[in-house]
Amino acid sequence: MLIAGVLLWAACNGRIEPELPAGAEPVTITIGRLDQDLFHAAPDSMAAASLRAHANYGEFYRLYIEDILQAAPVGDPRLPLALHRFVLDPDWSEAQHAADSVFGDMAEQRADLEGAFNRLKAHFPDSLAPRVVVFNSGYNYAIVPTDSVLGIGVEWFIGKDHPVISYLAPERFPQYMKDRMQPDLLVPSAVKGWLMVHYLRDASGEDLLAQLVETGKVMALLDAILPECDAHRKLAFTADQLAWCEANEYEIWKALVGKDQLYSKKGEDISRWMNDGPFTNGLPHESPGHIGEWIGMRMVQAYLKENPRTTFVQLFALNDPRLILKHYKPR
């Protein structure tokens, strides 16, 4: 039975599983293919293609041209030539051909994104569903969320074994980054990027505990709105890395609290647990980088398990991370 027109009780675990508010329109996601608008245009019509793209994508097109590609100002007469060179570059055109082949019309990804943003709207009825725009960035940016647009650099997800990826400079693209360039990471990476920009409270200047909890809230929300996505993909871990975390949760926690880092505000302590890398400094090489996202998520999920009627709106309104911490008892 619908409760207050919004919520359903889930019989399986006591958690509140929301539905869209009564009378709310379901979210419909459309995917703008800026990548194909440019790469499929005739080379001698690039000026016209650019004008059409600017009319279609508006401010996001300016951001794409000037900030992502750093090609030329949108109104610069040299822009068509810069775009002409970009789309005819053998590496970028090969990457685009791979994206066309791997993703096709992106119907599967559109359906997954639509499901995620409908669940997000059920948890946060006032949430904004973004316009999704797919582009080819020449490996400059993978995910670009703005106020209203979720931009996705499609070439980042064509498959780690594609020859173009092997050409990427290892000093800028270490192997652990290349290993993530998989098609099945596109949706979780995009949704995570949107949540991190729109739902992560800025905890700058606060201690590691606050960083863990605030990030953990977002990761728990990501987990909830992508229920059919493998857990390790939502974290951008490998399956083996997640299994290692689960098998060593207590040892990870001991390593974190054993050196009094939980309440540290030192940048090096926070970056050790929150920043990306091939593994976490001070832990075995089987560990993943940014392991703090997983620890924070585990902390928040422990709180939610003990407080099953807590909604995500209520969870995100909690400002004292110690309220979350007291429910976390890793073993």
Per-chain mean pLDDT for the chain: 93
Instruction: Choose among 81, 33, 74: nearest CA to 54.
Output: 74
- Could you read off the pLDDT of 142-196 as tens digits, one per residue? 999 999 999 999 999 999 999 999 999 999 999 999 999 999 999 999 999 999 9
Contacts of residue 65, defined as CB under 8 A and 6 or more positions apart, other chains included, come to 50, 71, 72, 73, 74, 79
What pLDDT is stored for residue 22 in this prediction? 64
Residue range 109-113: average pLDDT?
98
What pLDDT is stored for residue 9 in this prediction? 26
Q: Domain residue spans in the chain?
A: 31-198, 208-325
Q: How distant, in Å, are the alpha carbons of 61, 151, 221 from that of 131?
A: 13, 8, 20
Residue range 202-214: average pLDDT?
96
The Cα–Cα gap between 256 and 250 comes to: 10
75 vs 233, which has greater pLDDT?
Answer: 233
User: What does pTM read for this prediction?
Assistant: 0.93
Q: What percent of the chain has pLDDT over 70?
A: 94
Structure tokens at 317: 């309104």
In sequence order, which ranges of 226-259 are alpha helices (DSSP H)? 231-235, 239-247, 249-257
What pLDDT is stored for residue 154 in this prediction? 98
Q: What percent of the chain has pLDDT over 90?
A: 89
